[in-house]
Structure 1
Amino acid sequence: MAFDYDLFVIGGGSGGVRAGRVAAETGAKVGLAEEFRMGGTCVIRGCVPKKLMVFASGYGPAAAEARAYGWDYDGGTFNWDRFKPMLDAELERLEGIYRKNLGGAGADIFDARAVVKDPHTIELSTGESFTAKHILVATGGRPFVPDTTPGAAELGITSNEVFNLETFPERILIVGGGYIACEFACIFNGLGADVAQWYRGAQILRGFDDEVRGFLAEHIAERGVDLHVGLEVERMEKRDENGRDRIWVKGTDGREEVFDQVLFATGRTANTDGLGLEDAGVTLGRWGEVVVDEYSQTSVPSVYAVGDVTNRINLTPVAIREGAAFVDTVFKGIPTKPDHENVASAVFTQPEYGTVGMSEEEARAKEPVDVYCAAFRPMQKSFIGVNERVLFKLIVSQATQKVLGCHIVADGAGEMIQLAAVAVKMGATKEDFDRTVAVHPTMSEEIVLMKTPTRTG
């Protein structure tokens, strides 16, 4: 049977674009449909705009520290009306690069919604229909607002909308305790907003190392975020205050507070609604994610899926690796499983948290370990009397002395963990770390200077 396309990709995010571009470079005829904007969550409403806001949020505290170091100048205030047009322009520029690179490789781009009609047929919202030998679903995920909370769906926003705010909120409530919630709490706090963060669980950052979770919660609160755990939103109402619309929020502990915005960062779900996947025979998981095997193949042999829509490791670089592995397997004849072991990540709170490998709890559940941990005030902060500590932590196998996990909480931890991840990925031992000469004076030298375990067993 002759097909219109060798590959049709649904979704123009990082994973889908990488797969489409690399497949087209092999000579395959490729089509890709994106219903919103090229670049997906990461470029348009995730990693990139968030990190630019992280950068912006650091200058306020840095100005205060500069004065403590002897600089004479008046402080300022953050101007959202100046920042937002620059942010919009940068996202437009990056979207153009995605579109140019994909089109330059020879792929056809359709600005339309696509649905799967059968294992080899795609139908677009434009009315067009195409056949494809292979279909790749790369539609990512989306945030959701709890529909059981009165007023939340109508009055709350998510990380999708936060970058499009017309006015900067003087007072904002962040609902949630995951990394997205914690990042935005720190961002808005650094930009000068009055920030509260409510999380229903016992401690923020569930799934990360427990010691780090407590350490970061303490620092986030010390930086000025009104952080509360064990607290949920009971209901929300719009109220007029002197001609200004604000949001009244009642908590499950009886407290009542008023905010300009309420941002829900309470989880994400796979973008599979209405794609026709189940009707085409594709198996979906409990949360709507596409179920795939080690090669990203679904229950329908001609249909594959990569990225957040599969709910494996929901990180942009992982989606890109999965897309490349798919092309190796299907179009280059080199069966390739994407590697999901020891994937490093960073949480861009203030201070940042970088991690690779196992948490202490995960490692202890598998084998006896030695834990090396150091928390101290770095030179830059102690010199001006800032009471902020950093944390360096290694989890080491007692049997093999391999470093099973590395955790860093410090300014620049995201940059540091990338380099540490190389060592952990290579299977470096504690001895390898010990015989590495320190770079002095730096915070990061502590990672090779910890000689005595703080905990064993």
Structure 2
Amino acid sequence: MAAPMRRFASFIHHINRSNSLLMSGRSRVICQRCRYLSSLEHHDYDLAVIGGGSGGLACAKEAASYNKKIVVLDYVEPTPNGTQWGLGGTCVNVGCIPKKLMHQASLLGEAIEDSRHYGWKVPTDINHSWEEMVEAVQNHVRSLNWGHRVQLKDKRVEYLNAKGTFVDEHTVKAVMRNGDERTLTAGNIVLATGMRPRYPTNVPGAVEHSMTSDDLFSLTKSPGKTLVIGGSYVALECAGFLKGLDLPVTVMVRSICLRGFDQQMAGLVTGYMEDTGIEFLWQSTPKSLERNNDGTISVRWSDCRGHEEMDTFDTVLFAIGRDPQTTKLGLENTSVKLHSNGKILGRNEQSSVPHIYAIGDILEGCNELTPVAIKAGKLLAHRLFGGRSEVMDYEKVATTVFTPLEYGTVGLSEEDAIQRYQEDDLEIYHAFYKPLEYSVADRSSDQCYIKAICLREGEQRILGLHIVGPNAGEIIQGFAVAIKCGVSYRQLASTVGVHPTCAEELVKLHITKRSGLDPTVTGC
């Protein structure tokens, strides 16, 4: 019995010695690292995406091409007016898609008027049906919602109509629409929850008696006489197509319009809108909103002189900015760092937690544009699972404001160029122009304008290109490729234009601001 007892005592001594080693700092680190590596091997999913907008869906679908196990969580919080929508995020449901379709509806109204000058015998009693337009637009939106669900299923991406919040840095609690809960873990987590319109916190009645763009595009009856509050691109786009649909529109602006855009171009955009009959209340701020017995809304505001004014509207729409949707994600249970504006801080979409990423509007420093989120999401998926290294380039991204007279831009504004370079180091070419289509219809072209901001020396590399005019969005896309490739003014000027088009006016630029010459084009 002595030998077995000795072996038992030796075994006990070995266990005690191992426990002692495990209590050492180095052993604890090794143990924790082992547990971490072990946990990575047992996650439910390789990737969990919280947010079913354009960026999140693009990332999930691209990641699925690497035969990874992916889940997408998407849930839409109802607006104060109770508006909800399906899969696809802001762009599909309450942004780019319905906005552009309603912009097109307003352009068709302008085309009807123009057609009379071209010999079309158009009846004078033509009216627009808001209800039929909204039904058609929403039918298209619903088809996109369905299409996204089908694509996820085809790519074997699991979709949960659920609200996702962090339990810890690898664990997410999913709360379904019916209240059921489910806990899941993922090796990588991508946040793509986007932004939602902001309501003012200091205006009595604002939340109760107004709406935002989240409500407008599915509104079942015409908004009638509308007050749009804000100077954002959303405010101007909505005001523009409402006026184009023959509705009375007023825009209330606290300071400037299109903050962050070239302000000379912004002035041309709003100048044209004023010419179409949109009233602007400049340097004015709302004080209160009150619902009347007949359903109209009385709005009180103060102007730049401090005088209080009041008017009655059928609809009040706030478009004063958007807030990132990060406050309800349970980020306090992680080490993810936020900017003071609520956006996620990160580099190359990676947050302060290595396996937690952010794409789209909630990422600080990201252009708040759908194509940017889509491209960033795809590139991230390739880096995570495809062994690739390409990162998103947020510089020289083109965009367009779809106001009645569109504004397309790529690169630096004049203000930013002056701030980044010395003003004497810049050469700015510019020209007013008249679209040929405007001539027979006798339409004003006073605000149709092009500007190229260039370095003054050498080949004169173009830093920024701006155009206000019809179809500016279609025009700026091709030039965006050239700007991305570092095109110079000399290369631009040596290009032969397509005649007669608005786009050719860009390659005909030859007058500089420095010269003081009249930039008005008088002929072809």
How does the TM-score come out when normalised to structure 1? 0.96
Q: How does 1:204-243 map to 2 (within 5 A)?
A: 204-240=257-293
**1:110 partnered with 2:172:** no
Kindly indicate whether the alpha-carbon contact (under 8 Å) linking 2:128 and 2:245 is maintained by their aligned counterparts in 1. Answer: yes
Q: How does 1:388-407 map to 2 (within 5 A)?
A: 388-389=445-446, 390-400=448-458, 401-407=460-466
**1:303 partnered with 2:356:** yes
Structure 1 runs (4+) greater than 3 angstroms displaced: none
Question: In structure 1, what is the Cα distance between the partners aligned to 2:435 and 2:181?
Answer: 61
1:22 equivalent in structure 2: 62
1:64 equivalent in structure 2: 113
Provide, for residues 33-60 of structure 1, a one-character-per-residue CA deviation record: whole Å limited to 9, x for no partner.
1113210000011110111111111122
Q: How does 1:347-426 map to 2 (within 5 A)?
A: 347-367=401-421, 368-389=425-446, 390-400=448-458, 401-426=460-485
Kindly indicate whether the alpha-carbon contact (under 8 Å) linking 1:34 and 1:113 is maintained by their aligned counterparts in 2. Answer: yes
Measured after TM superposition, the shift of residue 381 of structure 1 is 1.3
Provide, for residues 125-178 of structure 1, a one-character-per-residue CA deviation record: whole Å limited to 9, x for no partner.
131111110111111110011011111111110110111212102200000001
2:374 partner letter: I
Provide, for residues 351-385 of structure 1, a one-character-per-residue CA deviation record: whole Å limited to 9, x for no partner.
00000001111112222111111113322213332
2:28 equivalent in structure 1: none
Question: In structure 2, what is the Cα distance between the partners aligned to 1:356 and 1:362?
Answer: 12
Kindly indicate whether the alpha-carbon contact (under 8 Å) linking 1:381 and 1:388 is maintained by their aligned counterparts in 2. Answer: yes
1:443 partner letter: C
Q: Determine what percentage of the aligned residue pairs are the same residue.
A: 37
1:448 partner letter: V
Q: How does 1:113-128 map to 2 (within 5 A)?
A: 113-125=163-175, 126-128=180-182
2:15 equivalent in structure 1: none
1:442 to 468, 493, 501: 501
User: Could you say what secondary structure the match of 2:450 adopts?
Assistant: strand
Kindly indicate whether the alpha-carbon contact (under 8 Å) linking 1:186 and 1:220 is maintained by their aligned counterparts in 2. Answer: yes
Kindly indicate whether the alpha-carbon contact (under 8 Å) linking 1:249 and 1:257 is maintained by their aligned counterparts in 2. Answer: yes
2:260 partner letter: G
Kindly indicate whether the alpha-carbon contact (under 8 Å) linking 1:278 and 1:284 is maintained by their aligned counterparts in 2. Answer: no
1:260 equivalent in structure 2: 314
Aligned residues: 452
Provide, for residues 95-126 of structure 1, a one-character-per-residue CA deviation record: whole Å limited to 9, x for no partner.
11111112211111111111111111011113
**1:321 partnered with 2:370:** no
1:342 partner letter: K
User: Could you say what secondary structure the match of 2:408 adopts?
Assistant: strand
2:242 equivalent in structure 1: 188
1:224 partner letter: G
User: Could you say what secondary structure the match of 1:255 adopts?
Assistant: strand
2:493 partner letter: D
**1:172 partnered with 2:214:** no
1:53 equivalent in structure 2: 102
User: Could you say what secondary structure the match of 1:407 adopts?
Assistant: strand
Question: In structure 1, what is the Cα distance between the partners aligned to 2:56 and 2:502?
Answer: 38
Question: In structure 1, what is the Cα distance between the partners aligned to 2:482 and 2:408?
Answer: 14
Measured after TM superposition, the shift of residue 456 of structure 1 is 7.1
1:150 equivalent in structure 2: 204
> What RMSD, in angstroms, separates the aligned Cα atoms of the two structures?
1.3
Provide, for residues 412-445 of structure 1, a one-character-per-residue CA deviation record: whole Å limited to 9, x for no partner.
0000000110111110111111111121112221
Kindly indicate whether the alpha-carbon contact (under 8 Å) linking 2:210 and 2:315 is maintained by their aligned counterparts in 1. Answer: yes
2:492 partner letter: F
Question: In structure 1, what is the Cα distance between the partners aligned to 2:341 and 2:259?
Answer: 18
Question: In structure 1, what is the Cα distance between the partners aligned to 2:65 and 2:202?
Answer: 48
Kindly indicate whether the alpha-carbon contact (under 8 Å) linking 1:45 and 1:159 is maintained by their aligned counterparts in 2. Answer: yes
2:138 to 88, 91, 103: 88
1:161 to 215, 235, 238: 215
1:45 partner letter: V
1:34 equivalent in structure 2: 74
Measured after TM superposition, the shift of residue 319 of structure 1 is 0.4
Question: In structure 2, what is the Cα distance between the partners aligned to 1:116 and 1:399?
Answer: 53
1:100 equivalent in structure 2: 150
Kindly indicate whether the alpha-carbon contact (under 8 Å) linking 1:25 and 1:106 is maintained by their aligned counterparts in 2. Answer: no
How does the TM-score come out when normalised to structure 2? 0.84
Question: In structure 2, what is the Cα distance between the partners aligned to 1:128 and 1:366?
Answer: 50
